[in-house]
Amino acid sequence: MDLLPDVWRQDYWLPPGVIWTDMEQLADSERPRPQDLLITLPLALGFVALRCAFERFLAPPMGRCLGVKNRLQVTAAPSPQLESFYTQSSKQPTQSEVVSLMQSCGKTQRQIETWFRLRRNQDRPGQTKKFAEAAWRFFFYLTAFVAGLACLMDRSWFWDHRDCWRQYPVQPMERAHFWYYMLELGFYGSLLLRISVDIKRKVNFVIHQDFKEQVIHHLATIFLLSFSYCANYIRIGTLVMLLHDSSDILLESAKMFNYGAGWRKTCDSLFVVFAVVFLVTRLVIFPTKILRTTLLLSMEVFQPFPGYYFFNILLMVLQVLHVFWAGLILRMVYKFLKGKLEKDERSDEESGAEEEEEEKGDESIDQDCYWEKSKETLNSKLSMLTNSCVLNNLTNHRSSVANRIRKAQ
């Protein structure tokens, strides 16, 4: 029973010499309270509903403007036994299961493996779904960045980071910053609610590796924002949110153009700009400005305490993820500069194995197209050859008739 009160001990959350009653100097609307975080739950559900409406009504016309189309897929032939095994047992049967299916279905191993490959490809998200997800995130990050910049540019701590700690923790909270926090928390909460149905990501052909980093990132962000709100680290927290949203806008916009047709140069240009902004904001500004402010400048005002250590640990977890993603981006930039960047390594793919399946399917489609074109070319050449032969015969016949007439004369 005493565990919950111990969690809120003032020496955990507040600097030495500061007690909770000191916070009561602020009005209720200016003082962050833990129960305020409950509003993020309906906000997260609201974001999920808003996203569904956005992907249903706004994303499709936007995709058509950019030429987003789903790839042509060959559907698997109807097979009740294989379909039952696919839906109830496994989407990727083992070798022994394939042998069992061969006996029950009367098909060869190659036919069964091909059927499962085509059937898995049918469940893959199309380009339009990937575009809709990227467009939704772009819309939110752009709105959040513009709104955040508007409510922070005229604040003193935006330019002088020492003001983030002056009179801490007795700092009044503005309503604009309250809603900035709640909306960001609600958005990341909605991402967690949808993470099981969203498009999985893969990196470096390792299945779901980046998916795990995304979960860690969302959880760390939610914990960071929640703790910083309760401990009234709102000033530095708003700067962290603004910094992260700035590069996310460019990433999602590059994805949007990547899914379109005929926008390769635009996509490449946005990717280059994104890479520069990401590396500058996450590897330069974040450690030299944000971490320096929380680790060093804050100690000019108070001595370290448990909340200080916890807050900085969360920030450093984010920094580790920044380094992880920066390594991937630098590798992509290296390939791009060498002219070998064939595909965005952070593009939304279900898995490396399924990517190979799609490529196989594309190869078979390309082969069909190739043979169709070859047949058309062959027919065209045969037609030209036939016409040429007919013309030659007519010409020879005409010249022979003319010779006979001359001889008769």
Residues 178, 303 within the same domain:
yes
- The answer to whether residue 2 is domain-embedded is no
What is the rounded (10 degree) CA torsion for 362, 367, 368, 371?
160
- The answer to whether residue 86 is domain-embedded is yes
Residues 88, 225 within the same domain:
no
Residues 200, 330 within the same domain:
yes
Picking from 137, 123, 121, 168, the residue whose alpha carbon sits closest to that of residue 308 is 168
Residues 51, 153 within the same domain:
yes
- The answer to whether residue 3 is domain-embedded is no
Tens digit of each residue's pLDDT (9 = 90 or more) over 163-220: 999 999 999 999 999 999 999 999 999 998 888 777 655 433 333 345 676 777 778 7
Residues 151, 287 within the same domain:
yes
Calculate what percentage of the chain has a pLDDT beyond 70: 78
- The answer to whether residue 300 is domain-embedded is yes
Picking from 222, 223, 198, the residue whose alpha carbon sits closest to that of residue 211 is 198
Supply φ then ψ for residue 203, to 5 degrees.
Answer: -135, 135
Q: For the ranges 27-41, 161-175, 328-342, which has the lowest average pLDDT?
A: 328-342
- The answer to whether residue 220 is domain-embedded is yes
- The answer to whether residue 92 is domain-embedded is yes
pLDDT at 209: 43
Residues 85, 202 within the same domain:
no
Domain that holds residue 96: 80-123
Residues 192, 326 within the same domain:
yes
Which of 7 and 237 is assigned the larger pLDDT? 237
Residues 182, 163 within the same domain:
yes
- The answer to whether residue 370 is domain-embedded is no
What distance separates the 2 farthest-apart alpha carbons in the chain? Answer: 132
pLDDT at 61: 96
pLDDT at 152: 95
Name the domain count of the chain: 2
Residues 56, 148 within the same domain:
yes
- The answer to whether residue 23 is domain-embedded is yes
pLDDT at 394: 46
Q: How far apart are CA 151 and CA 106, in angstroms?
A: 68
The CATH number for 98's domain is: 1.10.10
pLDDT at 374: 43
Domain closes at, from 338, 359, 388: 338
Residues 88, 227 within the same domain:
no
pTM of this prediction exceeds 0.85:
no
Q: How far apart are CA 45 and CA 47, in angstroms?
A: 5
Residues 158, 35 within the same domain:
yes
Which range scores top for mean pLDDT: 51-60, 82-91, 307-316, 330-339? 51-60
Residues 215, 110 within the same domain:
no
Domain closes at, from 55, 89, 123: 123
